[in-house]
Amino acid sequence: MNENPWERAKSQLKEVAGRLSLDELLISRLLSPNKVIEVSIPVKMDDGRMEVFKGFRVQHNNIRGPYKGGLRYHQNVDMDELKALALWMTMKNALIDVPFGGAKGGINVDPKKLSEKELERLTKEFTKKLASVIGPNLDIAAPDVNTNSKIMEWVVEEYARIKGHEQLAVVTGKPIGKGGSEGRTEATGLGGSYALQAILKKLNKQPEEMTVAVQGFGNVGIFIARYLQQAGFKIVALSDSKGGIYVPQGIKDIEAVEKCKRDSGFLAGCYCVGSVCDLSNREKLGGKAVSAVDVLELPVDIIVPAALENSITEENADKIKAKIILEMANGPTTLKADKILSEKGIVIVPDILANSGGVAVSYFEWYQNIHSEKWDKKKVFTKLKKMMKLAAEDVYKTSLEYKVSLRKAAYIVALRRIEAKAKISKN
Ligand code: GLU
């Protein structure tokens, strides 16, 4: 049975709030979203038929600033999932100390089944329905699962049409040249690598000694694999939803694997020797087939769930051999699994820290839009590194101070910041 992520998010919050003796009123404010919006989105399909999709936006909390968070397009999107993801955005934004609250939204749709034109009409109709509740100082969306810079550009276009003038800062994650920031596409992956390195430094561990298996090969999985390899880690396994590759001696050329997956549609056959990627190379490389599920159970030092929620559950937690988990997906670990893993002494770099690089650079993008600035990649990455390092060190220090897991420590740091802002606003 899949755990309900919203129940999990609330129980994580309650547990930590209890320890901090947070103001009761503040806790109850955080335990329910400020506003939930559900809309129906009629779309004309290419064959002339009309189809109606369901769209959502959850505005969890705005104590620290405008609502901020992504839009996901997925066939399993529902309100409870989005409520959890929105709460996690509130925590994430407070943890890295950007002046935003938390939100999340999406459409219940499998975008792979739609043509580009249908996707554009769907996005624009959704934007129309949300136009009165979003805006650069109100609620700022961004890419998430199955959404990208092109989709963000459509939101900007439709929002401009409705409001009569263009406001780039209504969303982040736009294409470069259309108001997007340098480095936003890579940001979640790069930020995760910075966070992991900051934590490993505290644990006196060197990247060079460590093997890594990554689950998920979308925008997050691809870049975390690339950047971890650049930092000296040995990537031994990669997987997408259909299967994966496992090369115990190390996957040398991740970009060749990426190209192979792009061309063939399947990652599972992408064993690359030079520029030739083919299943027939598997034996030559000493590789083994691995499924999207088994990839988390490989004998490696670090696993990186970078796909969807609930990939680590009570069913597989016991089979995990890695000593460190870097949660690049949002909510990959269920409550029961979290308990099993912490009893086993496994260090979990929690989602709200590990994947916060994405929204960190979203903040930089929003800031550049508002101030009409254009930063180069070096400036963006320098600022990102500083932000991730600070957040990771704060979390680590708090975990020692309170003798709690990094996840609980991350919540403590975030909740304290939200509490401080709530007090200022009251006075
Ligand atoms: N969807 C990303 C996340 O879950 C980014 C959100 C944003 O940039 O607003 O953190």
Please give, one letter per residue, the 3-state secondary structure of 236-258.
Answer: EEEEECCEEEECCCCCCCHHHHH
Ligand 1 neighbour 144 (Cβ under 6 A): yes
Is the CB of 96 inside a 6 Å radius of any atom of ligand 1? no
Confirm if 122 and 41 have CB atoms less than 8 A apart. yes
Higher pLDDT, 208 or 180: 180
For residue range 21-45, what is the model confidence (pLDDT) as tens digits? 899 999 999 999 999 999 999 999 9
- Average per-residue pLDDT in the chain? 96
For residues 219 and 237, what is the distance between their CA atoms, to the nearest angstrom?
17
Residue 104: active-site member: yes
* Token pair in block for residue 121: 């009409």
Q: Is residue 105 part of a domain?
A: yes
Cα 369 from chain centroid? 22
Domain total in the chain: 2
Q: What's the token pair of residue 353? A: 């820290």
Same domain as 106, residue 252: no
Total Cβ atoms within 10 A of residue 32: 13
Cα(104) to centroid(ligand 1), Å: 8
Query: Global pTM?
Result: 0.96
pLDDT at residue 427 in the model: 63
Kindly state whether residues 324 and 221 are assigned to the same domain: yes
Instruction: Give dist(CA 73, CA 247) in Å, integer.
Output: 32
Same domain assignment for residues 77 and 130 = yes
Q: Tell whether the model's pLDDT for residue 426 goes beyond 90.
A: no
Q: Does ligand 1 lie within 6 Å of residue 68's CB atom?
A: yes
CATH code of the domain containing 314: 3.40.50.720
Residues 207 and 347 grouped into a single domain? yes
Q: Cβ atoms within 10 A of the Cβ of 197, count?
A: 21
Same domain membership, residue 195 and residue 163: no
Mutate to test the pocket of ligand 1, among 188, 364, 367, 388 (most ligand atoms within 8 A of CB): 188
DSSP for 200-242, written as a single string: HHHTT--GGG-EEEEE--SHHHHHHHHHHHHTT-EEEEEEETT
- Ligand 1 pocket test, pick from 73, 77, 85, 89 with the greatest ligand atom count within 8 Å of Cβ, gives 89
Alpha-carbon gap, residue 221 to 253, rounded angstroms: 15
Buried-state track 322-331, b at ≥16 Cβ within 10 A, e below 16? bbbbbbbbbb
Q: What is the pLDDT of residues 353-403, one digit of tens each?
A: 999 999 999 999 999 999 999 999 999 999 999 999 999 999 999 999 999
Q: Largest Cα–Cα distance in the chain? A: 69
Residue 424 belongs to some domain of the structure: no
Determine the pLDDT at residue 149: 97
User: pLDDT digits over 120-178, tens only?
Assistant: 999 999 999 999 999 999 999 999 999 999 999 999 999 999 999 999 999 999 999 99
The reply to whether ligand 1 has any atom less than 6 angstroms from the CB of 310 is no
Over range 4-33, report the average pLDDT.
93
Q: What are the b/e assignments for 416-425, b being 16+ CB within 10 Å? A: ebbbebbeee
**Is 1's pLDDT higher than 60?**
no
Whether 288 shows a pLDDT value over 80: the answer reads: yes
With pLDDT > 90 as the criterion, what percentage of the chain qualifies?
Answer: 95
What is the average per-residue pLDDT within 60-67?
98
CATH of the domain at 113: 3.40.50.10860
Q: What is the pLDDT of residues 322-338, one digit of tens each?
A: 999 999 999 999 999 99
Which atom from ligand 1 is nearest to the alpha carbon of 363? 8
Q: Are residues 105 and 203 both part of a single domain?
A: no
**Residues 116, 200 within the same domain:** no
In the set 92, 104, 124, 261, the catalytic residue is 104
Write the DSSP string, 8-48: HHHHHHHHHHHHHT--HHHHHHHTS-SEEEEEEEEEE-TTS
pLDDT at 21: 86
User: Are 153 and 202 members of one domain?
Assistant: no
How far is Cα 410 from Cα 393, in angstroms, rounded to an integer?
Answer: 10
Query: Which of 185, 359, 368 should be mutated for ligand 1, with most atoms under 8 A from CB?
Result: 359
Contact 69 CB / ligand 1 (< 6 Å): yes
Question: For residue 209, what pLDDT is reported?
Answer: 80
Residue 134: in which H helix or E strand, if any?
none
Centre of ligand 1 from the C-alpha of residue 299, in Å: 31
Whether residue 236 is found in the same domain as residue 144: no
Asked if 205 and 337 sit in the same domain, the reply is: yes
Q: Are residues 48 and 128 in the same domain?
A: yes
Does 3 score more than 90 pLDDT?
Answer: no
Whether 154 and 79 map to the same domain: the answer is yes
Residue 95 to residues 258, 324, 412, 415, 418, Cα–Cα distance (Å)? 32, 21, 9, 8, 9
Q: Which domain holds residue 311?
A: 187-354
Q: Is residue 387 included in any domain, yes or no?
A: no
